[in-house]
Structure 1
Amino acid sequence: MAQHFFGPRARRALAGALLAAAVVVPLAGAAQASDVPAPAPSGRPTLTNGGVAALDARYAASRADILAAARYADTAGDPTRATELRVLAQQSRDFLSFDGRDGGRTVEVLGDLAHARRIAVLVPGSDTNLDTYERFHADAAALEQAAGGDATHTAVVAWLGYATPETVSPTVLTDDRADQAAPQLVAFVRQLQQLEPDARTTLACHSYGSTVCARAASGLHVADLVLYGSPGVGSDAATVADLHTTATVWAGRSSGDWIADVPHVRVPLGFTTLGLGTDPVSPGFGARIFAAGSGTHSQYLKPGSQALRSIAAIVSGAADATADDRADATGGAS
């Protein structure tokens, strides 16, 4: 559970160490989004229970927004960004929303959402933005395929609905971004459930995205919360009960994930609190542990991996009958 018994000297030392890790690490590795001008999105039809017609209208409006952003990129002298955006605007891609400003906000649908009986909302972690978006899309596509896609009436929604923190920054050491993102995630999921009220909904939350989902948990009426590669659940939650959710909470961490070395603490400093608190794979937290293999921090949804198979089984509901709460959080080959 999160620790609060550090003395002032220990708090200062830990705060210094955390800040050093975030700021002094070579900044060349940071994935900062390119500052490319983009227009504000146009008005979009409300996502309600309007079925296929409502979805098609949203997809068309978002495609127009993406093409408008591509034209802005052309005007700004960034043909690379313009080309990338036109790829997103292809008829084979479906977006519920798109905003190219401030690193980018997108909500992409993979699969037939209009007839889905199972929906997975994928919530990303740090360094996810328009410059790295295709990596996020690839993860969503892998999950949709592993879960059976249209054959099992499963759709995956890739929700980049917030300004993700940069891995190499002080921002990633606090749950401030999670606090800002959580209400937006709750509002989106509620709209999604108005569209498909009978669908089984799962949130699959990676890295800092797990902090977002944990902060949103009390407002989410979903079947499952899947927290993987988590730096901590944020706030002062020490157990699943503290999340105040009716969802089944799952957690997993691969044995090759560096996030295991992040201190799972909360250090109040007056103006802010550093650290993201409880590790959801810790025994005292009370999550159901799934086998996550031996991949790295970015390989949970790698095709063929143990973690992908486990998360796909949770999305389908098959894991409910086979889960072992005592399973090794870092066991299994990837």
Structure 2
Amino acid sequence: MGCSTGAGAVGGADGASGLGPGEPTKGRRTHRWRRALLACVITGAVVVPLSGAARAEIPAPAPATLAPMTAATLERTYEANRANAAEASRMAAEHGDRERAAADREMADPSRRFLAFDGRGFGLATEVFGDLAHADRIAVLVPGSDTSIDTYDRFRDTARALHDRLTREAPRGTGTAVVAWLGYETPGTVSTTVTTTDRAEQAAPELREFIRQLRGLAADEGTGTPGKRRIALLCHSYGSVVCGRAASRLDVDDIALVGSPGTGVDTAAALHTRARVWAARGGEDWVAEVPHIRLDILGTTVGFGTDPMSPSFGARVFAAGDGGHSDYFRPGSTSLANLTRIVLGETSEVTHG
């Protein structure tokens, strides 16, 4: 196994690495190699095969057959996915998995609105908060590692917190909606996949297709005006790797990266997107300690390159307060206030870090 660092692999320019411009060259080299060594140690610990087995397969029906997503078909889509979740709950209960049965049963509640649901394996779900057909401002949340049907409630809480704030702060006459997009199998936080772009590569086409369908809703009679509809992509942790891989063909207005380990590219310009690219990190977020490198290990690229918070990356850095890795959507937080402003298009009101 070989570890190597490339340009920008250890944080970019000397100033970004925390070293002053007057420090000796030898000191800068020592600092870079210490970071590279740390990355090798972390990577070696993660890439070694783990003893924990994947979650046992739980029986569930195949996803419901749905009509193309239009304003006219949304209610039928919601109904079909609730019925599918109810059947998944029944099958999980018969299998003896009471926790999964309870999670599926909650998703079958008449108040829930799912654009997609798949109860098989770790599970996939795409849930809507608000009136999607008539929304002028839409936020799509892309989650990070360890998000599944079994842990879905915490992801749902972030979407609800954002939607509650959008509802309170949107200008009169502006419709808002939030979509919690668990449209890919996320990696485990401690796994062989969380340090590579493999899951992100698989997820990117699905995210692009979903955004294409959202844009198509604006063309339907009775929906939001195409010229007014704005879509913001809010990407947390490993979800920012997914957004980075999908960005070049995403018709969105803003991409916000929060708690990001990197995107797989070294600059915002390399994302090849017309969207404004934002980045934020809470003061207590442990991801700040993750080395921003890319390593070649047995033919596999590990790591995600330049820190999106680095000036050399070129994102619009905004304030996130002192929160930790799971606090970006905490009610009352600085980060949630700024994310709300980004979604509403009030970019001049965003406070900067």
> TM class, shorter-chain normalised?
0.7 to 0.9
Question: Unaligned stretches of 5+ in structure 1?
Answer: 329-334
Aligned-pair CA distance for 1:240: 1.1
> Separation in 2 of the partners of 1:58 and 1:161?
16
> Separation in 1 of the partners of 2:114 and 2:315?
32
| TM-score w.r.t. length of structure 1 | 0.88
1:289 alignment counterpart: 317
SS in 2 for 1:68: helix
SS in 2 for 1:173: coil
Residue 287 of structure 2 aligns with an amino acid whose one-letter code is I
In structure 2, relative to structure 1, the CA distance for the partners of 1:27 and 1:258 (3 Å cut) is farther
Aligned residues: 316
1:230 alignment counterpart: 260
Alignment of 1:211-222 (within 5 A): 211-222=241-252
Paired residues of 1:70 and 1:82 also in contact (CA < 8 A): yes
> Separation in 2 of the partners of 1:169 and 1:103?
15
RMSD of equivalent CA atoms: 2.6
> Separation in 2 of the partners of 1:46 and 1:277?
38
In structure 2, relative to structure 1, the CA distance for the partners of 1:95 and 1:186 (3 Å cut) is same
Structure 1 runs of 4+ aligned residues shifted over 3 Å read: 9-16, 32-35, 149-152
2:46 alignment counterpart: 22
After superposition, give the CA deviation of every residue in 1:32-88 in whole Å (9 maximum; x if it has no partner).
Answer: 7564221211211111xx31x310111011111111111110210123321221111
Paired residues of 2:338 and 2:350 also in contact (CA < 8 A): no
After superposition, give the CA deviation of every residue in 1:134-154 in whole Å (9 maximum; x if it has no partner).
Answer: 000000000111112786411
> Separation in 1 of the partners of 2:120 and 2:246?
24
> Separation in 2 of the partners of 1:233 and 1:2?
13
Aligned-pair CA distance for 1:269: 2.4
2:93 alignment counterpart: 74
Paired residues of 1:208 and 1:230 also in contact (CA < 8 A): yes
1:275 alignment counterpart: 303
2:4 alignment counterpart: none
SS in 1 for 2:251: coil
Alignment of 1:254-269 (within 5 A): 254-269=282-297
> Separation in 2 of the partners of 1:184 and 1:63?
21
1:240 alignment counterpart: 268
1:317 alignment counterpart: 345
Paired residues of 1:224 and 1:249 also in contact (CA < 8 A): yes
1:43 alignment counterpart: 65
Query: Which structure: larger Rg?
Result: 2
1:135 alignment counterpart: 154
Aligned-pair CA distance for 1:27: 8.1
Q: Does 1:122 align with 2:141?
A: yes
1:207 alignment counterpart: 237
2:201 alignment counterpart: 179
2:218 alignment counterpart: 196
| TM-score w.r.t. length of structure 2 | 0.83
In structure 2, relative to structure 1, the CA distance for the partners of 1:115 and 1:12 (3 Å cut) is closer
Larger CA deviation: 247-256 vs 9-18: 9-18
1:332 alignment counterpart: none
> Separation in 2 of the partners of 1:33 and 1:153?
40
1:303 pairs, out of 328, 331, 340, with: 331
